[in-house]
Structure 1
Amino acid sequence: MSEWKAICRIDDIPVLGARRVARPAGVDVAVFRNAEDQVFALLDRCPHKGGPLSQGIVFGTSVACPLHNWTLGLDDGCAKSPDEGCTPKFAVKVEGGIVHLDAGELATHAIDLERPVAGPKPFATMAILSTEES
């Protein structure tokens, strides 16, 4: 039997948008709401390059990653063809206008994945072009 954790009111999630749920370990969870008030939850990390799915565009039952426009299904977390890969999904229920996530999944699901790091690579690891190569 699942223990459910209240996250927010459904109205706290913008229509065709998302809300991030921070966790003590691992990557945040993105909770999405589509135009039909369906609610979905995925790890806030695209399987391609780690883009923040919570910043993507929601349409139908899909979200487009903001980095490279990969389309992922909100119901299964999998990329649409021709792209490949999946991001973990989380169980969601809405009762009385309150969105709940499975507490056990929040505590254990995909906590071994690292948060993506934004910004340029550190200088020491960047390749330096010589004047002969440029």
Structure 2
Amino acid sequence: MENWLKVCSLEEIPRLGTRQLKHGEKNIALFRTDDDQVFALLDRCPHKSGPLSQGIVCGRHVTCPLHNWNIALEDGKAMAPDVGETSPYPVKIESGSVFIRL
């Protein structure tokens, strides 16, 4: 059974910005692109565990604020030449509300 959690409205995430969600022991970062796509990743860079929610969104990736690693928003994988990944979460938008599947 799918477990979708309503987390906020689309408007609560700034364009090219982020919002952090705490779920149990995990911090999840929500990212909104300039074309209103929303992605969710575990808020931890695979390099040194930097907070991706404090990074800069550009296109379909986020730049970690600690060491400038670029992480793809769609799958959480570091972009070459870096190697590593963080966990992505499925996201859907319905009637202006953002849901993630945990």
For this structure pair, what is the TM-score category when the shorter chain's length is used for normalisation? over 0.9
Query: How many angstroms apart in 1 are the aligned matches of 2:46 and 2:4?
Result: 26
The answer for the alignment partner of 2:8 in structure 1 is 8
Percent pairwise identity:
52
Superimposed CA distance per residue, residues 92-119 of structure 1 (whole angstroms, 9 cap, x where no aligned partner) = 00000100011xx2xxxxxxxxxxxxxx
Match of 2:24 in 1: 24
The size of the alignment, in residue pairs, is 102
Off by >2 Å, runs of 4+ in structure 1: none
C-alpha displacement of 1:3: 2.5
Distance 2:70 2:3 in 1: 31
Alignment partners' CA distance in 2, 1:94 and 1:30 = 16
The answer to which structure has the higher helix fraction is 1
Q: 1:87: Cα distance to partner?
A: 0.2
CA distance in 2, matches of 1:68, 1:3: 34
Flag structure 2 segments of 5+ consecutive residues without an equivalent.
Answer: none
| Structure 1 vs Structure 2 CA RMSD | 0.7
Mapped to 1, the partners of 2:3 and 2:27 lie a distance apart of 19
| Aligned residue in 2 for 1:44 | 43
Q: Give the gaps of 5 or more residues in structure 1.
A: 106-134
Which structure ranks higher in relative contact order (CA pairs < 8 Å, sequence separation ≥ 6)? 2
TM-score, normalised to structure 2, is: 0.97
Counterpart amino acid of residue 18 in structure 1: T
